Amino acid sequence: MNFKLPLLLLLFVSTFASAQQTISVKGSAPYPATQEYPFICDKYAYSGEINVQIAKTDKGGVLKLTISTASDKAKIAGGVYVDLTNADVIACTDKNVKESADGTTTAYYYFTAAEWLKLKKTDIYAVRFIIVGGPDISGNLTGHFTAYNKMKYFSTAFDKSKKTFDTAKEISVL
């Protein structure tokens, strides 16, 4: 009886420790990260969503954007704007850190320490990004897009459940 409670606590803690996500950028050491948030991007005709993940680094943080593409030539390029719920905007410049595999493209952007503090205090409202590609890619698969922090496309006025991800809460735990 005396050993059941400590054993249960150890099992509980180890489950949470192993559930933590990580991000590794171009062969770097893995950074502790949030879950992948499927933000809704209703103007993007191919998939309608982009996966957003944020990791803590020694100097600030990393934003990982992953989206399904119709062509290997399509890439997330240019600067990215992260809109916060308090109307603040974090501008991320393109450092050309990208990956492509299995019909998806991934781009990484870096946050400074000051920007990381903002992310810890305020939820992300939206991420604005650009997809570029070759001339054989359809027009509605390239261009400027905005992905919103929403869990579902549709809901009713009577639905009182949470409709957005608590990004600030998860980032502050990292």
Specify the residue for token string 């492509």.
Answer: 100
Q: Is 114 inside any structural domain?
A: yes
Indicate the residue type of 126: A
Q: Is 11 inside any structural domain?
A: no
Q: Is 63 inside any structural domain?
A: yes
pLDDT tens for each residue of 75-125: 999 999 999 999 999 999 988 899 988 889 999 999 999 999 999 999 999
pLDDT exceeds 60 at position 1: no
What is d(CA 33, CA 116) in angstroms, rounded to the nearest whole number?
Answer: 13
Tokens of 141: 């698969």
Q: Is 16 inside any structural domain?
A: no
pLDDT tens for each residue of 112-166: 999 999 999 999 999 999 998 866 666 567 889 999 999 876 666 777 777 899 9
Q: Is 49 inside any structural domain?
A: yes
76: Cα within 13 Å, side-chain hemisphere: 33
What is d(CA 58, CA 125) in angstroms, rounded to the nearest whole number?
Answer: 25
Per-residue CA distances from 110 to 8, 9, 168 (Å): 39, 36, 17
Q: Is 12 inside any structural domain?
A: no
Give the residue numbers spanning the domain of 142: 23-173
DSSP state of 141: G
Q: Is 10 inside any structural domain?
A: no
With beta carbons less than 8 A apart as the criterion, state whether 40 and 155 touch: no
CATH number, domain containing residue 121: 2.60.40
What is d(CA 108, CA 54) in angstroms, rounded to the nearest whole number?
Answer: 10
pLDDT at 146: 94
Considering its fold, how many domains does the chain have in total? Answer: 1
Specify the residue for token string 């939206």.
Answer: 126
What is d(CA 142, CA 131) in angstroms, rounded to the nearest whole number?
Answer: 5
Q: 90 has which bridge partners?
A: 82
What is d(CA 36, CA 38) in angstroms, rounded to the nearest whole number?
Answer: 6
pLDDT at 9: 46
Q: Is 71 inside any structural domain?
A: yes
pLDDT at 42: 85
